[in-house]
Structure 1
Amino acid sequence: MAAAEGACLHHIARETLDVKRLAKFYQEILGFEVIKSPNLGQYEVIWLSLPPVFSMHIIQRNPETKLPQGPWSSSAAVADPKKLPRGHHISFAVSNYDSFVQTLKEKGIEVHEQTQPNGKTKQVFFFDPDGNGLEVANWLPPQK
């Protein structure tokens, strides 16, 4: 079987009971911008973009869904950012790592920082308001 040609990450989606709150978090913390979102009628969505090409779709969760909302309410909660490096998370790269981490701390967001064995890659792990794991690092752009 042939691998997909020209494959790239297009977007990720996050379900939430509070679409506006979660979208605001990603706008304030990571600089996402609101882009044109479809009118899906029965539920609210906000589409966000992190230029140049990455998108996130924040989608209103069906309140009748019996699944837990994020790790905070899961029976196997990962509420401690120290346990997140091996857990389920989305990773972003920033060029202003130190000031970014300071901003998180000033906003009262609990973080766990670590440095990779190479001594160069610094990472911070934390949660969004719905308990979804996030990592931000001073990653270099992928090399071709």
Structure 2
Amino acid sequence: MAAAAQGPCLNHISRETSDIKRLAAFYTEVFGFEQIESPKFDFEVIWLKLGSSMLLHLIERDPTVMLPEGPWSAVASVADPKNLPRGHHVCFYVPEFDSFVQRVKDKGIPVHEQSQPDGKTKQVFFFDPDGNGLEVSSQYPVL
């Protein structure tokens, strides 16, 4: 059993969607998340786990509440990942950056690649099927 955190820590990230199975398939196929047991609610949810510390909670969109979708959607088209608003993304690190980017491209997902001025960190930006911004970095997070 893992030790309890000594203060606040990230519990999970949630994404609301109108097609929960499509979004779950995207995160399992692209990043390798695995589906885990989900509690029962009066709406559909899927919990996904990546490694030992990251949980993604996918939630069926409430059709009675009109919230905006991600930055790229039918009502706010920012389809080119080069134009992804900088504050609207979740970032993942992958150890095999170049092969990961190639796999994403092979799936037909449009990407925007860039490198930081230091030349050490490469980044790729793209969207999930609901228009949520994603970044993948070649740099392991330093805390």
> Scaled by the length of structure 2, what TM-score is found?
0.89
- Identify the residue that residue 81 of structure 1 maps to in structure 2: 81
Say which SS state the counterpart of residue 72 (structure 1) adopts: coil
2:103 is aligned with 1:117:
no
Q: Percent identity?
A: 62
Cα offset for 1:141? 3.6
**Which runs of 5 or more structure 2 residues have no equivalent in the other structure?**
1-5
Instruction: Write 1 or 2 for the structure with the bigger share of helix.
Output: 1
1:1-144 → structure 2 map (5 Å cutoff): 6-40=7-41, 42-73=42-73, 75-84=75-84, 86-143=86-143
Say which SS state the counterpart of residue 72 (structure 2) adopts: helix
Structure 1 distance, partners of 2:35, 2:73, is: 28
Say which SS state the counterpart of residue 134 (structure 2) adopts: strand
Cα offset for 1:87? 3.7
RMSD of the TM alignment (CA)?
Answer: 1.6
Q: Partner letter of residue 48 of structure 1? A: L
Number of positions where the alignment pairs a residue of Structure 1 with one of Structure 2: 138
Structure 2 distance, partners of 1:38, 1:107, is: 31
**Which runs of 5 or more structure 1 residues have no equivalent in the other structure?**
none
Moved over 3 A (4+): 74-77
Q: Deviations over 1:52-77 (max 9, x none)?
A: 11100000011122223222237554
